[in-house]
Amino acid sequence: MTPNDDALAKKRFFALTIMRLMGVAFIAIGFILISGGLSLAGQPTDRWIGAAIVLVGAFDFAVMPLLLARRWRSPKGS
């Protein structure tokens, strides 16, 4: 493993970690909107917006790191 490979691996790990943290933040904000702790457009609309944000956060937390890791995976011959 060369120093460039090590630096690239650290950047990718950092990107995956930030992706998961943003997903958790989206989920928390979405639940705050659903519960009525924050008001954007009024309560019926806030619940729908909160539900959409929770879904985006869950996708961002669970699926996106897997997709990025698969894309960044080393070839089998290396």
**Residue positions counted in the chain:** 78
Q: Is 19 in contact with 53 (CB distance < 8 Å)?
A: no
Residue 63 to residues 48, 57, 71, Cα–Cα distance (Å): 22, 10, 13
pLDDT at 43: 85
Confidence class for position 1, pLDDT limits 50, 70, 90: low
What pLDDT was estimated at residue 77?
Answer: 65
Q: Region 43-53: what's the mean pLDDT? A: 93
pLDDT at 49: 95
Q: 54, 31 in Cβ contact below 8 A?
A: yes
Q: Are the CB atoms for 41 and 68 separated by under 8 Å?
A: no
Q: Tell me the per-residue pLDDT of 61-71, one tens digit each, with 9 for 90 and over.
A: 999 999 998 99
Tens of pLDDT, residues 29-42:
999 999 999 888 88
Alpha carbon distance 2, 23 (integer Å): 32
